[in-house]
Amino acid sequence: MIPNGTLELTADPGGITQAADLLRQGLLVAFATETVYGLGGDARNSQAVAGIYEAKGRPSFNPLIAHVASADAAQRFVEWSDRAEALSAAFWPGPLTLVLPLRAGHGISPLVTAGLETLAVRVPAHGTARKLLAEFDGPVAAPSANPSGQISPTTADHVRAGLDGRIAAILDDGPCGVGVESTIVGLAGEPALLRPGGVALEQIETVLNARLHHHQPGDLLTAPGQLQSHYAPDAPVRLNARSRQGDEVLLGFGSVDCDLNLSADGDLTQAAANLFSALHKLNETGRPMAVSPIPDHGLGVAINDRLRRAAAPRDT
């Protein structure tokens, strides 16, 4: 536990400078990105990275994403390629993570990569995150800032509820805009979709002019966010529900009678931004949860991926 508790920092120049100083000391800082709040630690400092796993209760075989300030910064740590150049030019800064082979002399802690010879790296679009990375001037390992397997945080209050007293500070910059984590694309071999997310598969395939292989259940973990049970509320979750059963609360989409609606207008972008906040709110009821069908295209692919993991049997 942190002796004096978790600091609350505002996202102004003073707060950003203080957050960067804490990272340099090997301490952990939660900060907003456009996707969800990340729990940041110096990706070159094994003690700091171990602290991330400890604070989250995260399995050490589950690799982390390194956040950097620019594509040029990413190339200090990974072997670049034409495909990486094309995707970074199209989608960075933004909610896309690339998994690439590590460069010689990279300096990244092996705890970040879970012992793999690849690194997951991205350049976030969120203004405060980018200022923090520029101020820190180094790679920041940052999984979602929540206890492992639980609902991802899209506000500072979500972070505080799960990690207060376990981390040095929270850099509060309001709610996250995208609301689901980044899409992860593997480029260490043939291009592969390792996790759907904030950039739609169709957009990526258009840029690459190629179809992506899809990660399958039972495949080895090669990137963050591939555990089958994840984002899990306390009570059971039932998917593709047309109505409530028993004591359930209904999370809706479109024009339905429900307890909370991801998007009454059927807007997938709005639904993605609201997803984790809605799961948090309904989880507070302590009742089983039912979820309306979500179209499985565009951002709906990422939303359905998160919902399937929320509904999956809990990993032990």
Give residue for tokens 């984790």: 276
pLDDT (0 to 100) of residue 229: 53
| Residue 179 and residue 242 in one domain | no
| Residue 274 and residue 133 in one domain | no
Furthest-apart CA pair in the chain: how many Å? 58
| Residue 75 and residue 120 in one domain | yes
| Residue 33 and residue 94 in one domain | yes
| Residue 58 and residue 175 in one domain | yes
pLDDT (0 to 100) of residue 238: 95
| Residue 249 and residue 303 in one domain | yes
pLDDT (0 to 100) of residue 148: 83
pLDDT (0 to 100) of residue 308: 87
In a domain, 43, yes or no: yes
In a domain, 229, yes or no: no
**Model-level pTM?**
0.76
Say which CATH number the domain at 297 has: 3.40.50.11030
In a domain, 16, yes or no: yes
| Residue 108 and residue 14 in one domain | yes
Residues 6+ apart with CB under 8 A from 217: 228
* Domain, as residue range, for 175: 7-214
In a domain, 1, yes or no: no
What are the beta bridge partners of residue 172? 10
In a domain, 72, yes or no: yes
| Residue 203 and residue 244 in one domain | no
What are the mean pLDDT values of the chain's consecutive 10-residue runs (316 residues total)?
A: 83 98 98 95 92 80 89 97 98 97 94 87 97 97 91 94 96 90 92 92 96 70 55 85 95 96 90 82 94 89 82 67
Distance (Å, whole) CA 124 – CA 95: 6
| Residue 55 and residue 165 in one domain | yes
